[in-house]
Amino acid sequence: MQEADRTDPAIVEAPPELSKRTIVAAIIRRGGPKLLEASIIPSLLFYTSLAFGSLGLAYLVAIAWTYGCLGGRLLRRQDVSGVLVLASVGITIRTALAVSSGSSFIYFAQPIVGTVVTGAVFLGSIAIGRPLIAKLAHDFWPITPEQAQNPRVRSLLCGLTVLWAGVNLATASVTFVLLVSLPLTTFVAAKQISGLAITLTAIAVTIVWSHRTACREGMISPSRSRTPADAAAAPAAPLPLAA
């Protein structure tokens, strides 16, 4: 009787069943607020201030929001995401150069240079064996130390680092073309739309690639459509949800 009461180890250690849709939802819950705070909201504030106010007001509002978020998190002793740190550094340099030079072109051209440098840093991180995606991934999906040491996961992280290096270089190229060919207000809107399109495409590739690797390595089980036989065999009690 005692032997029969033991839980089957195969059941306990079975990987969770996750679909791409579930992963997207989890990433949005974990990383969405960080992107909203560090990128989307300050960009909207900047564009609104520029369209209905002035360039100086746009500078002030964007940097006030970013530093307000950073300072608020530090005062509340909350974790500061890598995305917010990068945004704070970037907007500080951009605003300082633009104000000191008196040129709005410098404000928008500097991120292009910064994006190219970021792409180069992504590629350089592979050369030294420490792919940068491994550092940023924790803002969007938890990775255990054991998973990070898996050879296929390491290969995935290297591949994704190359992908996001390409994203940065592509974004810089498109932004430069838009900057030299469009009026300022139109450029700001077009830059956001093109950047979002490139980023969303890369996110989709990242999710599909990561999901496939996780399934192959047995870290998760691909979801499958439930048949009537599956439903009949399923236990009546609800399954616990992951925290």
* Range of the structural domain that residue 100 is part of: 18-221
Give the per-residue pLDDT at 2: 45
**Does residue 95 lie in a domain region?**
yes
**How far apart are alpha carbons 107 and 50 in whole angstroms?**
13
Classify residue 230: in a domain, yes or no: no
Q: Which of 60, 24, 58 is nearest to 44 (CA)?
A: 58
Taking only the tens place, the pLDDT of each residue in 16-34 is 555 666 666 766 776 677 7
CA-atom Rg of the chain in angstroms: 22
Has residue 237 been placed in a domain? no
Distance of alpha carbon 82 from alpha carbon 88, whole angstroms? 10
User: Is 51 among the domain residues?
Assistant: yes
Tally of structural domains, the chain: 1
> Residue 228 pLDDT more than 60?
no
Mean pLDDT value of segment 185-204:
88
10 in a structural domain: no
- Does a structural domain hold residue 1? no
